[in-house]
A and B are shown apart, each in its own frame.
Chain A
Amino acid sequence: MSREWVSPRVLKGRGILGMNQRNVDFISRYNPRERYPLVDDKLRTKLIAEKAKLNVPKLLHVVHTQHEIEEIQHELVKLKEFVIKPAQGSGGKGILVIVDQNEEGFTKSSGDVLVLNDIKRHLSNTLSGLHSLGGKPDVAIIETLVRVSPLFSHISYEGVPDIRLIVFRGYPVMGMLRLATHASDGKANLHQGAVGVGLDIGTGRAIAAVQNNKLVTTHPDTGGDLTDISVPDWPKLLNLAARCYEVTLLGYLGCDIVIDQDKGPLLLELNARPGLSIQIANDEGLLPRLRQIEQLEDYYVTVEDRVDFSMRTFSHYSVDQLELPYQADGQSQGGTIT
């Protein structure tokens, strides 16, 4: 850890959003308290997302009570591969990934084989709150397995890379690809040692990659190149994130999205208090972009208009280098800046 310090004036000049300002000016102003449970519980998030026809890993089954676990084999027998996760889990705890099922049992992503009783114990622990924040009793979600797109296989280590997008009033403002590392113990948290790759909002291409606040160019475990990353289906992904605003009505939102090799971008979870590290991965502050959105007069524009506006406005590339999906006449772009 470097013992360096920076003056507040420099940070302000670069538009860095601090924790106090995030809490006072954005979270408490744009996120109504009563809508938090919607995103804190992954089951509720998934249910409203499915209702709104957002792409999510398909919900296969929910286990609410201990006695349902006794009957779980009738549900599991139909499934070749699946993921079990706690609805209120934190930091990737308690996620069990089964990639194959045969007579011998259930094969985990690591290759270990579990028997039915192991699955039952895991479910029972999840329900009693072993994996949830603060040990609260929980429910277990069983959903379809996300398969890593081959485009990402050279930079994946223990788990699927996910993309965090900050969506402000429905406009995607900043994005980052999070890669778990050995140091982060397979978790995608930047402060635990995961790699963050800043993504250009216009193109989905990598801007810079950081681990522990230092620039890196290759994945520390797989050695994969981090500079030439280009996220596929980018406009579709932005569109998915932007629509989360209408679903949750949370103005300042973090969307975690994964890319499935068959189904494309899938919404994994939402966060009403997204962290600030994304600014480090992007080497840029959030504040100017947020203020620019605040200046917009008309918020009731379509999802497509918002995505188009964000891609044009926040890209590092000039507009003619972008492949804008929605540019019809050049008139219906975003809102008007006043």
Chain B
Amino acid sequence: MKQRGPFLFLVALLMVTGLGTATFRHNAYRIPLLPGTQQTVWQVEARVEYFADGGSTQVLLTLPPEQTGFRSINESSASSGFGFELSTHGRQHRAHWTKRNATGEQVLYYKLELVQDEGYRVPAEEQDPAPSRAWDEPYLTAALQVLQAAIPESADEKSLAQQLTRQMNRARIDQNLSLLLEEYSEPELLFDLLNTAGASARAVQVLELEDGRRRQSLKEYVQVWQDGEWHLIDPARGLVADDRQLLLWQTTTPAVLEVLGGTNSGVTFSMISQSRSAAALTSERAPGYDISLYSLPIAEQGMFKLIMLLPVGALVVVLMRVLVGLKTSGTFMPVLIALAFLQTELVPGLVSFILVVSLGLTIRSYLSDLNLLLVARIATLVILVIGIITVFSVLSYQFGFNAGLTITFFPMIILAWTIERMSITWEEAGPREVLLQGGGSLLVATLAFLVMDQEITRHLAFNFPELHFCVLAVILLLGRYTGYRLLELHRFAVFKK
């Protein structure tokens, strides 16, 4: 116990640093300690990519209009060497990048921060109805027949739209509609039919907000005007009741992205949500903001939301192994499995994990007879695992069991190693040991998942990364723990007398 003093000092120092910084940041920047009661801030990042031809170039990106439910608090653009300005045309804002000479691959970023605020209202403004489409035969007859059937069954514009989407999404589509759908896409057709029926409708582009998504694109929705406001219609599901997670991006006709002097252009969106207190929102640019996780690009912030959970999982593994004495197959394999569970949800995750590993073990027992070298064997297993996962995904999709698709979130190399190690354990120590280690791993993975899945854990781990100093301190302490493990109290029960 020579170095006990310095060791304990280090542990105490880490503890104080972690807790102190967290307390300070909580007090100074009003970062909430608890999730939930706060306002949600969406950070949306649009990434424009294109290939410049070599001459002068201009990029116009349509930006979301002022709208009910979202208050814009901040916007910025990152694009080296480009001139940038925001232009407003009526209600529609646009970002305008310009450069005299650009060659090759260009990447432009536009970042927008929005507070999700139900109290924020923007008065709706009716548009002049778009000229209704001049239908060609035989589509005119088909469209009129569809409308003739639908109008008597509807009461107003909203219910007509609802009626039309329902008919379009039936398993057995009416002949007229299927003829029309061969020519027009669903949103386009819905919008045209509504206009032909005399309703005021418009096609809009919508961004579906979901925390941590990357490389998303805009979805086409339709809006119909009734009772002084626009009602949003999802061409696949009908009238949208809850539009809190839907950000209108573009409502007027110009294309979302226009590029002059370039080709192969495209725009994708990344987004994450953060919860910040209203006070923190006002002191947004508080000192220290620039060196915090919030300042990273949004796609990376999404990554860090996951990465920051890893130490928590590692702590669970250390606790289970050092204090309880559970055997696991591969030291930190359970944490990675738990991370996969975060994507798949617990029960589908457990089921698919057990299925893949037991199938893999069966096939691996055949590989044993082939006498392969280690590296070749693992490589074979990796391919096997990918094969199993592919078959599972396709089958479960065919049977309408979408949870099966999330199986792809399992780290495949880890699965291959797990199968390899378990198979060796089977040969060397028998099936009982395999069950013991496999069960131990799954138990630890489940516990780690349950801890990591808590809203409070996610919130603290991402918003107070300094708390990881405390996790580290606890892990260091456990590393010097010399007491009995829980399971040893059973193992040495013969000493009871």
Contact = CB atoms under 8 A, between A and B. Distances in A.
Contact of A11 (B424, B480, B489): B489
A135 B480 contact: no
Interface in A1-41: 2-8, 10-12, 14, 16, 18-21, 24-25
Contact of B424 (A7, A125, A134): A134
A133 B424 CA distance: 8
Given A5-B490, A135-B424, A19 B485 contact: yes
Interface of A: 2-8, 10-12, 14, 16, 18-21, 24-25, 90-91, 93, 125, 128-130, 133-137, 192, 210, 213-214, 279-280, 283, 285
B282 interface: no
B440 to A, nearest CB: 14
B482 A18 contact: yes
Contacts of B493: 2, 4-6, 213
A134 B373 CA distance: 11
B374 interface: yes
A10 B496 contact: yes
A5 B489 contact: yes
Contacts of A19: 325, 485, 488
B483 A280 contact: no
Given A19-B485, A134-B424, A11 B495 contact: yes
A128 B484 contact: no
Given A21-B482, A91-B428, A130-B371, A4 B488 contact: no
B484 A8 contact: yes
B481 interface: yes
Contact of A280 (B424, B428, B494): B494
B422 to A, nearest CB: 13
Nearest to B480: A24
Given A16-B492, A18-B484, 20 more contacts: A4-B493, A4-B496, A5-B493, A6-B496, A11-B484, A14-B495, A18-B488, A20-B482, A20-B485, A24-B480, A24-B482, A25-B482, A90-B428, A129-B374, A134-B374, A134-B424, A136-B374, A210-B494, A213-B493, A280-B494
Interface in B195-213: none
Contacts of A20: 322, 481-485
Interface string B408-438: 0000000000000000100011100000000
Contacts of A8: 483-484, 489
Contacts of B495: 6, 10-11, 14, 16, 280, 283, 285
17 contacts: A4-B490, A5-B490, A7-B489, A8-B483, A11-B484, A11-B492, A18-B483, A18-B484, A18-B485, A21-B482, A24-B482, A91-B429, A134-B424, A213-B494, A280-B492, A280-B495, A283-B495
Interface in B369-408: 371, 373-374, 377
Interface in B303-326: 322, 325
Most A CB atoms within 10 A — which of B325, B428, B493?
B493
A150 B364 CA distance: 44
B271 to A, nearest CB: 45
A28 to B, nearest CB: 10
A283 to B, nearest CB: 8
Contacts of A128: 371, 373
Top 6 nearest A-B pairs (CB, nearest first) are A4-B493, A21-B482, A18-B484, A6-B496, A6-B493, A135-B374
B377 A135 contact: yes
Contacts of B325: 19
Interface of B: 322, 325, 371, 373-374, 377, 424, 428-430, 479-485, 488-496
B429 A6 contact: no
Contacts of A4: 490, 493, 496
A129 B373 CA distance: 8
Most A CB atoms within 10 A — which of B377, B479, B482?
B482
A280 B494 CA distance: 7
Contacts of A283: 494-495
Contacts of A12: 484
A278 to B, nearest CB: 12
Contacts of B377: 135
A44 B373 CA distance: 24
A32 to B, nearest CB: 16
A196 to B, nearest CB: 12
A133 B425 CA distance: 10
A210 B491 CA distance: 13
Contacts of B428: 90-91, 93, 133
Contacts of A135: 374, 377, 424
Contacts of B480: 24
A24 B484 CA distance: 12
Contacts of A3: 490
A125 B371 CA distance: 8
B377 to A, nearest CB: 7
A19 B323 CA distance: 10
Given A10-B496, A14-B495, A91-B428, A21 B483 contact: yes
Nearest to B371: A128
Contacts of B371: 125, 128, 130
A125 B485 CA distance: 39
Nearest to A3: B490
A197 to B, nearest CB: 15
Contacts of B494: 210, 213-214, 280, 283
Nearest to A4: B493
A96 to B, nearest CB: 17
A274 to B, nearest CB: 16
Contacts of A14: 495
A279 B488 contact: no
B488 A11 contact: yes
Contacts of A90: 428
A236 B312 CA distance: 53
B482 A279 contact: no
Contacts of B322: 20
A285 B496 CA distance: 12
A18 B491 CA distance: 10
A253 to B, nearest CB: 20
Nearest to B495: A14
Nearest to A280: B494
Contacts of B491: 213
Contacts of A279: 492
A91 B480 CA distance: 30
B224 to A, nearest CB: 66
A130 B322 CA distance: 32
Nearest to B377: A135
A7 B484 CA distance: 10
A68 B483 CA distance: 51
Nearest to B479: A24
Most A CB atoms within 10 A — which of B373, B481, B488, B492?
B492
B419 to A, nearest CB: 13
Contacts of A7: 489
Most B CB atoms within 10 A — which of A8, A18, A130?
A18
